[in-house]
Structure formats: C-alpha cells, structure tokens
Amino acid sequence: MALAALFCATPVAAQESPRIAERTAQTDIPLEGPRGAVRLPQVTLAITVAPEGRSISGRAVMTVQPTEQLEQLQFDLAPRFTIDAVYVGEQSVDRSDYANPDGLLTIDLPQAIPAGEPVEVTIGWSGQPHEAVNPPWDGGIVWAETPEGQPWIATAIQGEGCDMFWPCIDHSSVRIGTLDLLISVPTPLVAAANGRLVWSHEVDENTVWHWQARDPNNYGVTLQIAPYEVAERDYESRFGNTIPLRFWHLTGNEEGANRLLGEMADQITFMEERFGPYPFGDEKAGVAETPHLGMEHQTINAYGNRFRPESNGHDWLLQHEFAHEWFANQLTHASINHMWLHEGITTWTQPLYLEWARGEMLYDAEMWRQRQRVWSRVPLVPPEGELPDYNDREARWGDDIYFKGSWIMHTLRYLVGDEALFPAITMLTYGTHDPEPGNLAPVSRTTEDFRQILQDSTGRDLEWFFDAYFYQAEMPRLDVMQDGDMLTLRWHTPSRLPFAMPVEVRIGDEVRTVAMADGHGRIELDWPSQPYLVDPRNRILRYDADVEAWQNRDPAQ
C-alpha cells in the first residue's frame, strides 16, 4: 500500500477523554471464537501522532491466517476510537457489518475464509487514546513535555494491552511474525520503536519513521517520541555476533546515556554467560528515555530513572528492563496468570548480577531487601480463567510476581543447585540447550512447563515444591520443637503433598542437613542447651513472623 494511503486518516481534535472500557482495561481475556483461530504472520501499522490534540490515527494492514474456517474476524480495540474503514482484501466492508461497542471489534466477512488461507485485512481508526494515570503500573499513553517544552510521548500498556492504541489480538500468547511500524510525528521529533530502523522520510511537516521487528509480543509494541539524540556503541558478543547498542536520550543527557551503554555491555556479558545469547542481536539493544519510570519494550526499553548513580555501581532499572529481553520478550508467559515468569526471574537476575559484578554480600543484601516485599496473600499462579489484578493493594499479587517469584528462584537454587537450575532456565527460555544467534525464536511458557523442564534436568519429582509455592497462597511454615537434645522439624503447607524441603541446621561450627523427605525430620544436639540456627544462610522462602509484623506496622508510628 502506498505511503500516502497509509497515512490518509486525519487525527481528531482534542476532546474530553472518556473512561477506559472494562474490556480494554484487562489484558489476556481468554482466546475464544475468531480471536483464538487466527495467526498474524505480517502486520503493518501506520500511526500518525498529533501531540497538540493528544490524538492518534492509523491504518493496520494485517495478513490474517485462519486456523479454521471463519465467517467473522475479531480484534481488540478500545471503543473510544472511531473506526474509519474496514477492508477484507480489496473489498470494503459495509459499516453495518462491523461493530465495536465494548472493545471487541467484530467483522462479519463478505464470504467465509477457509482454514489456512491468508487474507489481508485493513482497519482504519482514530481518536484519543486513554491517558496513563500512573504509568507503567496503571497504563496508557503518556503525554508530557521535555524541560524545553517540546512533546515527550510514551506508551506503557503492560497490564492493559495493545488494544489501548491499535487493533490487535490482546493476548500474551499471540505473536506477530513481522511487524512494520510506520510512525508519523511532527518534525523535528524522533520516533524510536521496536526492531531495526529501515528509513525515515519527511512528509510535509511530519517525519515518518519506519521500524521493522520480528516476532514482537503485543504489549511490547511501543511508541517513544521526543526530540531525541542518540548515543551508540557496538558490543562484540561471546557468540561471535555484533550487537548495536543505542540510547535515545533528551538533550543534555549524553554523558549519562553513554555511561549506561557501558553498563548495558556488562549486563549482556553477564546474561549471555548465565543464560544464553541476547535474543535480538540482529536488530538492536535499545533504550529510550521516557517521562515515566520504565517498561520492557522489545529492543527499545523505556528508561526514566534519571541517570542517578547507585552505591552498588549499576542502574537497577536499566538492568531490570534489559533482563526482560530474555524473560518477557524471548520467553513470554502463555497468559498473565504466569506473569511471575517475566517478573520473578527478571527480579532474581538483579541479585545474581550483583553477585557476579560485586560479590556474594551484595547478592545476600539484595535478596533480604526483596524478602521484605513478599506478601503471599493469594496464589502466585491464579487458577486458569481467573484474571489477577496487578493493582490490588490488599492482595499484593503485583508485588509477589516480582519478589516472591525471585525468592522461589533463590530457594530452587539451594534445592537443585546451579548445575541443574541454569541449564533448565536456558531450556525454558530458548527451547534448546544450545541456543545460537540467528537461530532463535520466542517461546511461550507456563509454570507447568518450567516444572517439567526442571524435573527433566534434575530427575526429581518437584510437584510438591511447585504446588506449595505457586498454587497455594500461604507460605510454608517450619515448626521447630526441642525435647532434651533432640530437635524435631516439621513443615506445614496447605498443599496435599508433603513439603520435602531439606533444612540446614548450624550446630556449633558445623552445618548439617535434615532431609525432611516426608515433610518432617529430626536432628540431635550434642547437649540440650547447645545453640543452633535453622536455615543459617537464609536459603528457604518460608513464613517469617518478624517480617509479617514489620509489614503490618503502623506507618505513622
């Protein structure tokens, strides 16, 4: 389609912003009907951004491949947008044959599409997208200004999904084969986006930026717009490929951006050594300075931590979002119920990186800081069909996917050892034990996938571990009872399975291990009043009354 045709829609004028629709506010609504019966091998999105009206307009040209015969197509799109046109192939769809009253855009097809037969579908839309209230946690589009008063725009849609600003199938398991993203912004603004830059051209008073990405996940498709400058360097990988490192930053932040590119190079060295190759080295490792804190957009992570130095020598936000290139963008959860795979493993990479870069003390210090934010009031993996609420401050699931997930990985490290755990994570992430650049494709995973892979790696049945930590709300509790010189240890969990977590006990200068095969065990002291310490290296995630009391303290006191 010609460039002029792609940008034929006119942005609407500014108007009062309606409330976000219920369906649009929730990502990963189960795939049912036509939404679950299509593949998207190629999508072209041409989006015009009008900062003065806080509006966008666009054309989506999608190659749709049905997996079964379809008489309808369905896409997710916020109902606040006006649908300007719908085409199936070259045929215009009459206005009476499509509707989007609640955010489920349903198109009655002129004729049924057979299974496996690709068809080109074009959707034009325009309007004012929902403005983020507290990005990135309560998301949408951020309309801000630089210190010089120029437009500074970002998208942050993790919890809400891609339908916040473009027609898509809003589910974590859906990938686009190839995405061409053409973003038109007023000159001299720069649009930084996913993948590799194909070209940029001035069209009238706008500049069009053409980006192309392979296999993007939907919520990672992003617009980052500002009068950016670019800091750049290249990284020579241990795998023999060269990775372009790019940082789009505001004027005056060149020194900080170059410093963080150096940190990113170190982080690649660590991540590739521990887990495997950077998954998108054929495109770039990119960062864009944003007016909100940050988010993991594939190959163009959002960074808003203001280049502040830290006592441990690295920028935690840069490291966290960059680790998501492995655990979110290469490995993607099959549904939001398994979001801990993104956030928990990524959060664990922070103490791991500190251990690698600065030593064991910083690993332990970071793990203890994280332990204080484990709440465990609801299951970490909710039942299928039950959509969790990230922002529920009572349930605290939005904390646990980070910090409980990280502590579970810490405990697994103790249980199975590095020699089993890290190869299992590589298999989980790439689908192979021997990943190589140029031969990588993203994978979609569940918590049960992880269990099966880890069981294959260890040769052990770990259902008891996964049931207690992922599917039960209450953390395991360890009772320790003494009778004379005999200690009896007993685990308690809501699980139907005995919690067979071995427990270390330090007696004098010796650390002994109690097997706990059926959830309880015994160990003898040398004399009844001999001091002892259970779990002396704090390796096991378990209920801690002191942590709970601290969490429940009155903040006014």
The annotation status of 254 as a binding-site residue, yes or no, is: no
Alpha carbon distance 260, 283 (integer Å): 19
- Residue 475, classed as helix, strand or coil, is coil
Is residue 372 a contact partner of residue 314, using CB atoms and an 8 Å limit? no
Q: CA 533, 539, 545: angle at the middle one, nearest 5? A: 65
The amino acid present at 362, given as its one-letter code, is L
How would you label 11-48 residue by residue, b for 16+ Cβ within 10 Å and e otherwise? Answer: bbeeeeeeebbebbbbbbbebeebbebbbbebbbbbbb
Is residue 358 a contact partner of residue 308, using CB atoms and an 8 Å limit? no
Is residue 448 a contact partner of residue 340, using CB atoms and an 8 Å limit? no
Which DSSP state fits 476? P
Alpha carbon distance 500, 540 (integer Å): 12
The annotation status of 297 as a binding-site residue, yes or no, is: no
Q: CA 421, 425, 430: angle at the middle one, nearest 5? A: 150
Burial class (CB in 10 A: 0-12, 13-18, 19+), 52: exposed
Task: Give Cβ neighbours of residue 238 (< 8 Å, ≥ 6 apart).
Answer: 269, 272, 273
Which tokens in the block code for residue 431? 């689908």
Task: Give Cβ neighbours of residue 263 (< 8 Å, ≥ 6 apart).
Answer: 314, 315, 318, 319
Three-class secondary structure assignment of 112-137: EECCCCCEEEEEEEEECCCECCECCC
Tell me the CA distances in angstroms from 369 to 198, 307, 351, 403, one per residue in order: 43, 22, 10, 9
The annotation status of 320 as a binding-site residue, yes or no, is: yes
Alpha carbon distance 263, 166 (integer Å): 34
- Residue 36, classed as helix, strand or coil, is helix
Report the binding-site residues.
320, 324, 343
| Binding region for Zn(2+) | 320, 324, 343
